Amino acid sequence: MSPVPRSTPFWMRAWFVTTSLIVLWDAAYCLLRPHSMEGGKYFVFFSPYKLYGTVDKLYGPEAIEDNNGFTGAQAFMNLIEISLGLLFVRMVGNKNYTQGQANLVGFSASILTLAKTILYWLMEVFSAMEHTKHNDWMTWIFLWVIPNGIWLVVPSIISLNLGRDLFQRLEHGKTE
């Protein structure tokens, strides 16, 4: 078995930092609705959501009118996800934490992202595509599947990498 890695790849740290900014913006849009929507006092910061709200009705005015709480609930979960991801980045390379401790936090953050995203996709599937079926195929693929699919692919890769590392650390009895 290969030795336990002692560092975190740059791409992984970059993912957590970059997506934390994107997901924070998304959470802010969701939690500030209707003020973040067109006509709202914060719309200037969230104008791309005017288009996305037509692609995914969970982000549009229909969800507000229907009192659909899923978008707000997942936005709240986003805040936990962001906190864990940024904590991971802070822990990596900090002498007060072992690599194993950091990797456990990073693994937890990526599993949370993955589980939340799978729930988001499954909710759409089990609701007969209630929020996206109105789109043509090109719009659905390029503005819903691909952007949301990234949050399935990359966290899966991170979870597998950090999970493998955690297993190796447990097998070798290493905590650093």
Give me the mean pLDDT over the 110-136 stretch. 97
pTM above 0.75, yes or no: yes
Q: Is-contact 112 150, C-beta < 8 A?
A: no
Copy the structure tokens of residue 157.
């890769």
Choice among 24-33, 46-55, 81-90, 163-172 with the minimum mean pLDDT: 163-172
6-20 pLDDT, tens per residue?
578 999 999 999 999
What was the pLDDT predicted at 175? Answer: 57
82-92 pLDDT, tens per residue?
999 999 999 99
Q: What is the enclosing helix (H) or strand (E) of 87?
A: helix 70-91
Copy the structure tokens of residue 158.
């991170």
Distance of CA 43 to the CA centre of its chain: 22
